[in-house]
């Protein structure tokens, strides 16, 4: 195979649909692509990182699950939220768990949050010709780094943030985060802000809903997990 063949655009469902739409008989072909939606949010507060997600998984206009797990423990000090294609996201969760565990066994210490983010970024970048359809938030706390929050894109981009949101409901969450976030939030204030941000998305985004899953990753002590039921 020639090198130029590798960079030729592949035919997708969108290009095929366009071809059918321009056919002589002008018959419209309905797209059967799998559409997903979610709201995932993260923020940095004093000596902690807080991550939150809704619990709904959708396929176009169908609610595929009301108990979807979008908040995953990678290591004791490291958690990740997932948005996008479930199969792609779960594969990356498994790989990151394995790689960070191997690091811990070899180095006899926990992997730094930024190193875990770079590892994940490299995996995504190496596959950018056929990208994983994901949006990820990686958050954790170490003694040296303190609380770290990373917004990681499908092509491997890493954006360190104080707060971020990913998913179909992100615009609604960002409005709340921009208005209410401040430096040195307490854990209680951070949790309240996460709940407000995701609730705003649940109210307006039909692909988000069925409660809120929260993880508080602290500098000292084990991470705390909590589920909050939301009346919709």
At residue 84, the pLDDT reads 94
> Which residue ranges make up each domain of the chain?
38-228
pLDDT in tens, 17-59: 444 344 444 443 333 334 468 999 999 999 999 999 999 998 8
**Starting from the edge strand earliest in sequence, which strands make up the sheet with 134-142, in order?**
71-75, 78-84, 134-142, 146-152, 158-160
- Active-site residues, by number, are 38
What is the biggest distance separating any 2 CA atoms in the chain, rounded to whole angstroms? Answer: 67
CATH of domain 38-228: 3.60.20.10
At residue 36, the pLDDT reads 60
Q: Taking a C-beta distance cutoff of 8 angstroms, is the pair 194, 39 a contact? A: no
The model carries a pTM of 0.84
Q: Is the pLDDT of residue 154 over 90?
A: yes
Nearest to 70 by CA among 202, 231, 214, 230: 214
Q: Which residue has 């430096």 as its token pair?
A: 183
pLDDT tier for residue 7 given thresholds of 50, 70 and 90: very low
27 or 72, higher pLDDT:
72
pLDDT in tens, 182-221: 999 999 999 999 999 999 999 999 999 999 999 999 988 8
Average pLDDT, the chain: 87
At residue 32, the pLDDT reads 35
Instruction: Tell me the mean pLDDT in the region 131-136.
Output: 96
């Amino acid at each position: 195979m020639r090198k130029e063949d590798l960079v030729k655009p592949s035919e997708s469902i969108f290009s095929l649909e366009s071809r059918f739409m321009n056919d002589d008989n002008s018959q419209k072909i309905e797209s059967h692509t799998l559409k997903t939606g979610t709201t995932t949010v993260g923020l940095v507060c004093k000596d902690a990182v807080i991550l939150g997600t809704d619990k709904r998984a959708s396929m176009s206009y169908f609610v595929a699950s009301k108990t979807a797990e979008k908040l995953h423990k990678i290591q004791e000090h490291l958690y990740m939220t997932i948005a996008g294609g479930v199969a792609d996201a779960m594969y990356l969760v498994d790989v990151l768990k394995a790689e960070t565990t191997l690091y811990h066994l070899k180095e006899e210490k926990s992997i730094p949050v930024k190193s875990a983010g770079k590892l994940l970024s490299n995996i995504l970048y190496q596959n950018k010709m056929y990208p994983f359809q994901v949006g990820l938030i990686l958050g954790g706390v170490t003694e040296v780094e303190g609380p770290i929050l990373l917004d990681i894109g499908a092509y491997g981009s890493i954006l360190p943030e104080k707060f971020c949101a990913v998913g179909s409901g992100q615009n609604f969450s960002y409005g709340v985060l921009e208005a209410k976030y401040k430096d040195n939030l307490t854990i209680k204030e951070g949790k309240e802000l996460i709940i407000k941000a995701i609730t705003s998305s649940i109210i307006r985004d039909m692909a988000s809903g069925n409660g809120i899953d929260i993880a508080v990753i602290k500098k000292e002590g084990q991470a705390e997990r909590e589920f909050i039921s939301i009346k919709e």
